[in-house]
Amino acid sequence: MVPFKRLVKKQLGELLIERGIITKEQLEKALLTQKEKGGLLGEVLVSEGVTKEEDIAQVLTVQYGFPYLPLQNYEMNAEIVKMIPENICKEHNLIAVDKIGDTLTMAMSNPLNGKAIEAIESLTRCKVQVFVSTLTDIRNALKNLHGKENKQVRDQ
């Protein structure tokens, strides 16, 4: 697996400070929390209420060049979403959003999860194109889609 190449050499925290999203003190506190409890820095900052998921997603787009795809108004194709089992989507916080030829477009909350991308490529036999989305958007899209399926089963 080829490591992801940064377009901008600065760390996530540094970019958030530069954009006025967080302060240096908030970053230092979040880094301590991350060291104690683990997890991704962006998730720590969001859980501490310091920033929003959208801010983290947009900074990742600057840092690595992944496009940002907000899913709240995106029309999902159930057949494409079903290409990846629901348990895998939930485990890796991702959702398939489109397929053109042998390229599958996925939205991920952590687009740097190379193992998940490799697993999806192996599972679907497609080349994966990654977009960044928020964890909340992905979870809501999965819930909405599977909620509709469950309702249709009950209505039959």
pLDDT in tens, 12-47: 899 999 999 999 999 999 999 999 999 889 999 999
The confidence score (pLDDT) of residue 144 equals 83
In one-letter notation, the amino acid at residue 149 is: E
The confidence score (pLDDT) of residue 121 equals 95
Say yes or no to pLDDT of 153 above 70: no
Domain segments of the chain: what residues? 12-64, 78-155
Q: What is the pLDDT confidence band of residue 75, given thresholds at 50, 70 and 90?
A: confident
Stronger pLDDT, 147 or 103, i.e. the higher one: 103
Q: How far apart are CA 94 and CA 44, in angstroms?
A: 19
Mean pLDDT computed over 52-72: 89
CATH of domain 78-155: 3.30.300.160
Structure token pair of residue 133: 């989305």
Q: How far apart are CA 68 and CA 70, in angstroms?
A: 7
The confidence score (pLDDT) of residue 120 equals 95
* Contacts for 141 with CB less than 8 Å, ≥ 6 apart: 71, 74, 76, 81, 95, 107
Q: How far apart are CA 156 and CA 154, in angstroms?
A: 6
- State the chain's mean pLDDT as an integer: 87
Mean pLDDT computed over 1-8: 59
Stronger pLDDT, 127 or 155, i.e. the higher one: 127
Structure token pair of residue 7: 């377009």
Longest Cα–Cα distance of the chain, Å, equals: 56
Say yes or no to pLDDT of 150 above 90: no
